[in-house]
Amino acid sequence: MLRRRLLTAAMDPVALGVLAATASGLIETAAAAVAPLAADPALVDDLVSANHILYDQGVVDGFGHVSVRHDKDASRFLLARSMAPALVTADDIMEFDRDGNAIDPRGRAVYLERFIHSEIYKTRPEVKAVVHSHSPAVIPFGVTAVPLMPIYHMSAFLGAGVPVFEIRAATPAPTDMLVSSAELGAALARTLGGANVALMRGHGDVVVGQSLTQVVFRAVYTEINARLEAEALRLGDVNFLSGEEAAKASKVDDAIMGRAWELWKQQARAKH
């Protein structure tokens, strides 16, 4: 289900290069006729680390992606080219406009599901970072009737509720399960609403945060919570955090999560 967007700005040499690159088949690109804006190198570096950390912590495998809002223009975001997160380097980070078009693609393939990111950034101005993954322990909660709920204070952010996106409800015809259009991205964003995490039936989940540190923390502890909740449910009735406990614990987590980020970043640097 590859989608290509032909440029009308045919005189643009960058755009011409893109057309040449896409001519050979599977590469998918979508370029917007606007000028690129250099992002803060520290932000790019953190985005690279976020890719590696999500792999090291078992949230992503060869697939999945993480983005961050552009620090120079809040309508844009940064996201790696289509590749395995564990291998991402600063050179692989691309810039996208509000509709998910690559701004300076230079022939690089882009993720089919970049619309997950673009449509959430549109509807959630306070969100600064988005993770999409096939987080393994989360998958069973997306295909059964059991809600994901905060089992301990580290996953208190789940207290805001975890809706499940059913792609069959968003589009009448059977799909390939991918959120590969702006329309499907918008439907997912509507399901997410004001929550921090939404599950995607038969697919994975999406996690949002106000920073890369927060979105990575949330993605890791969503995975851990799913594992522990499944374990606990086998023992019997589970005493989850109350709404008030979750709200209060979330604030503490926000204040201390840098401790985990620092550890994970050091480990990622040593490995990658």
Q: Could you give the string, one character per residue 76-95, with x where binding to its own copies holds by CB under 8 A and - elsewhere?
A: ------xxx-xx--------
Tokens of 261: 């980020």
Shorter beta-carbon distance to its own copies: residue 170 or 232? 232
Q: Taking CB under 8 A as the rule, which mask of x and - marks residues 135-174 in contact with its own copies?
A: -xx-xxxxxxxx---xxxxx-x-----------------x
Q: Is 113 an active-site residue? A: yes
Measured between alpha carbons, how far is 249 from 264 in angstroms, rounded to an integer? Answer: 22
CB of 26 to its own copies, least distance (A): 6
Given 11, 23, 24, 239, the residue binding its own copies (CB under 8 A): 239
Q: Number of residues interacting with its own copies: please give it, by CB under 8 A.
A: 69
In the chain, how many H helices and how many E strands?
A: 9, 7
Phi-psi region of 221 (alpha: psi -120 to 50; beta: other; left: phi over 0): alpha
Which tokens sit at 263?
Answer: 């550890």
Alpha helices for 57-109 (secondary structure H): none
State the catalytic residue, choosing from 113, 119, 223, 229: 113
**Shortest Å distance, C-beta 184 to its own copies:** 13
Residue 209's identity, in one-letter code, is G
Instruction: Take residue 17 and report the two structure tokens written for it.
Output: 């290069």
Torsion of CA 66, 70, 74, 76, to 10 degrees: -70
Residues lying near its own copies in the complex (CB under 8 A) are found at 1-2, 26, 61-63, 82-84, 86-87, 112, 134, 136-137, 139-146, 150-154, 156, 174-178, 201-204, 224, 227-228, 230-242, 244-245, 248-249, 251-252, 255-256, 259-264, 266
